[in-house]
Homo-oligomer: A and B are copies of this chain.
Amino acid sequence: MSGKIRSNLGRSTADKVYVRGRDLSADLIGKVSLGDFAFFELKGRLPDARQSLMFNALAVTLVEHGLTPSAIAARLTSYGAPEALQAAVAAGLLGMGDRFGGSIEDAARLLQEADPDQDPRVVAREIVAAHRERKQPLPGLGHPVHRPEDPRTTRLFELADETGFNGRFVELMKLLAAEASKAAGRQLPVNATGAIAAIASEMGFPWRITRGLAVMARAIGLVAHLQEEIEHPMAPEIWARTEEEAARENPS
Binding site for B on A (CB under 8 A): 1, 3-19, 23-26, 28-30, 32-38, 41-42, 52-53, 56-57, 59-61, 63-73, 76-77, 79-91, 93-102, 145-147, 149, 151-152, 154-156, 158-159, 206, 208-209, 211-213, 215-217, 219-228, 230, 232, 234-235, 237-243, 245-247, 249-250, 252
Contact = CB atoms under 8 A, between A and B. Distances in A.
A114 to B, nearest CB: 21
A5 B242 contact: yes
A159 B70 contact: no
Contact of A1 (B6, B56, B225, B241): B241
Contacts of A102: 81, 83
A67 B250 CA distance: 12
Given A30-B155, A94-B90, A238 B5 contact: yes
A157 B150 CA distance: 43
Contact of A60 (B37, B70, B94, B247): B37
Nearest to A14: B147
Contacts of A37: 56, 59-60, 63, 220
Given A90-B93, A94-B81, A97-B80, A242 B238 contact: yes
Nearest to A229: B7
A34 B60 contact: yes
B94 A86 contact: yes
Given A11-B252, A33-B33, A72-B76, 8 more contacts: A3-B241, A7-B250, A19-B64, A30-B159, A69-B77, A80-B94, A90-B94, A219-B220
A84 B87 contact: yes
Contacts of A8: 228
B151 A15 contact: yes
Nearest to A19: B64
Given A24-B61, A80-B96, A89-B93, A235 B18 contact: no
B243 A241 contact: no
20 contacts: A4-B249, A6-B250, A7-B66, A9-B224, A23-B151, A25-B152, A25-B154, A29-B61, A33-B36, A67-B243, A68-B239, A69-B79, A80-B94, A81-B95, A84-B87, A87-B97, A91-B94, A212-B227, A215-B219, A241-B241
